[in-house]
Structure 1
């Protein structure tokens, strides 16, 4: 892994709803750590990419502001990180055209993350934007010459497309881009309350903005099993183990120790432990969020958009020069 002291890091999310615990332990915690360690952090609000799997971007302004609020509430510092919006940086999106020429249709068709997102969307047809989503993401990563990208394991196929684009561009036109490395969280994939992957689109996630009553309601309906003794055995007891894992992550403890502490308390004791652990973990995040207002969120985006445009303009000029396009 490259030294985080000098790394440029690109990360971000689509504004389709509130971020959740899976996001926090999957990537957000790493973003905050990398910022603390001195990395140059770019955080993308990927509003154009909302259109990949839906006809319209419903409630987009609200979701954009909510996403920025999530970032600030978990500890991303806008004075040290560049938080910006996709649609506000034209030069970034213009990079997608030469990048598309470097990737085959077959390579895009085989991308497992795209396949999964198409399946979840439930759409009968696939838009060109959805199909080329990995190349758009490559432009996001490479416009600022990011060399480190914190991702969840399910996003690794997209990351590989970005690496492929960087290598092929450098081979064809000369050395312009670093080949970005993925930074995986130590946290395992979190399941949602229905036993499937925690996801905004599946409605099974515990949002970082959730209040105490909502946390209790979501955890109460979570799947468990018929055994009373609580153990941490992800392979044989995935739903129970997932709840133990959530509590352990929120407590920053070993999941086996958390399970042993609950012991023979059964599902009721397990769920109470999860509710208490999540609410205690979210308490400072809620407090920071309560201190934010819409004016501050807009100012953060304005400053970030300005810097991102400067960086993207320089990179596009370099790309055009390398391609002998003036």
Structure 2
């Protein structure tokens, strides 16, 4: 029996991933055409500043560097923890608009939807045969999502969620996946599945590597993690007045002088960091500029910084939204590309399994 992983071993493992990620960044700079990236989102609501600084800017960076980027709109994953996808067509459209406005170019980046690529979803069957139920139950995301649903029974779709992510990565031969530390177990399961398929049948799948991001954890206006569901996030499509109203309600403290002290002043420091990121400044400098302005001065400065940063994005978004055919065409073209890739991969899988009749 394999002994449990110790904290020291886990830290050493993460250090190795960090070192390898740094090597990969150097390789991207030298030969970006050698990489294919798979990333994506569940269409569960509008993207916000946490997504912008956490993932969108990195996607644009990789695209600009010359890396092939595929962006999945994971519409099937919406029903892992709910009965139906409410207003899904509208949410999907808004999700794509947010990303186009942020700088992703459909001429260089491929957008596609789960539900539009049958061969990708068909890969789930052979992949499921390569993992145990215990391995699925141990996945941190499955455990966390199940706990968050309260008394709601776990669906089979939720239990197999890690394999959906594995199929998303493996079907397109992505060799690079941008992840945070908490997503590493998903990626390791994907690599395990690729190895097991090769051992049982033939080497078909690429084993993807992690590209670790350094995006900061952004807090919402209430001092908790920024989230669509908590109503504490500035959505990218919000207008300037709505943004100002949200920050006027933000939680701060009674100290007059504004400082950046994340451990002692969580809510104030969260707002300072947000403003600093929007201005491209160090949070200490952003706080010092406000000085003794108090909560009112802080909220005003952050509102101005956010609106200034998002103004070009919002203007671009309004232009794109004026033509309802744009998103449809982006997805039509992207779905066609994804279907071609998935069909080729499924053909190789069936050949390796001896299922060509």
Q: For each residue in 1:77-130, what CA deviation from the matched residue of structure 2 results, as whole angstroms up to 9, or x when unmatched?
A: 001111011100000111111111222222221222222223334452111111
Q: Is 2:183 the partner of 1:155?
A: yes
Counterpart mapping for 1:148-227 below 5 A: 148-227=176-255
Q: For each residue in 1:282-303, what CA deviation from the matched residue of structure 2 results, as whole angstroms up to 9, or x when unmatched?
A: 1111011111121111001000
Q: For each residue in 1:110-164, what CA deviation from the matched residue of structure 2 results, as whole angstroms up to 9, or x when unmatched?
A: 2222222233344521111111111101111111111111234443332232222
How many angstroms does 1:261 deviate by? 1.5
CA distance in 1 between counterparts of 2:240 and 2:260 reads 25
TM norm structure 2: 0.87
The structure-2 alpha-carbon separation of the partners of 1:242 and 1:77, relative to structure 1 and needing over 3 Å to count, comes to same
How many angstroms does 1:39 deviate by? 0.8
8 A Cα contact 1:26 1:151, kept in partner: no
Which residue of 2 is the match for residue 136 of structure 1? 164
Counterpart mapping for 1:8-87 below 5 A: 8-87=36-115
Q: For each residue in 1:25-75, what CA deviation from the matched residue of structure 2 results, as whole angstroms up to 9, or x when unmatched?
A: 111111001111111111111111110111010000100111110110000
Q: For each residue in 1:198-238, what CA deviation from the matched residue of structure 2 results, as whole angstroms up to 9, or x when unmatched?
A: 12233322111111111112222222223222222222222
Q: Is 2:288 the partner of 1:260?
A: yes
8 A Cα contact 1:26 1:152, kept in partner: no
Q: How many residues align?
A: 326
The structure-2 alpha-carbon separation of the partners of 1:310 and 1:103, relative to structure 1 and needing over 3 Å to count, comes to same
The structure-2 alpha-carbon separation of the partners of 1:314 and 1:121, relative to structure 1 and needing over 3 Å to count, comes to same
The structure-2 alpha-carbon separation of the partners of 1:321 and 1:91, relative to structure 1 and needing over 3 Å to count, comes to same
Task: Choose between structure 1 and 2 for higher RCO, CA contacts under 8 A separated by at least 6 residues.
Answer: 1
Which residue of 1 is the match for residue 18 of structure 2? none
How many angstroms does 1:266 deviate by? 1.6
8 A Cα contact 1:120 1:201, kept in partner: no
Which residue of 2 is the match for residue 313 of structure 1? 343
Structure with higher Rg: it is 2
Q: Is 2:325 the partner of 1:295?
A: yes
8 A Cα contact 1:45 1:83, kept in partner: yes
Q: Is 2:270 the partner of 1:242?
A: yes
The structure-2 alpha-carbon separation of the partners of 1:121 and 1:195, relative to structure 1 and needing over 3 Å to count, comes to farther
Gaps of 5+ in 2: 1-20
Which residue of 1 is the match for residue 308 of structure 2? 280
CA distance in 2 between counterparts of 1:188 and 1:246 reads 10
Equivalent position SS for 2:37: strand
Which residue of 2 is the match for residue 105 of structure 1? 133
CA distance in 2 between counterparts of 1:28 and 1:113 reads 22
CA distance in 2 between counterparts of 1:310 and 1:126 reads 33
8 A Cα contact 1:54 1:121, kept in partner: no
- Compare 292-301 and 117-126 and name the one that shifted more: 117-126
CA distance in 2 between counterparts of 1:203 and 1:158 reads 28
CA distance in 1 between counterparts of 2:201 and 2:157 reads 26
Which residue of 2 is the match for residue 323 of structure 1? 353
Q: Is 2:271 the partner of 1:271?
A: no
CA distance in 2 between counterparts of 1:55 and 1:325 reads 35
Q: Is 2:148 the partner of 1:120?
A: yes
CA distance in 2 between counterparts of 1:205 and 1:182 reads 28
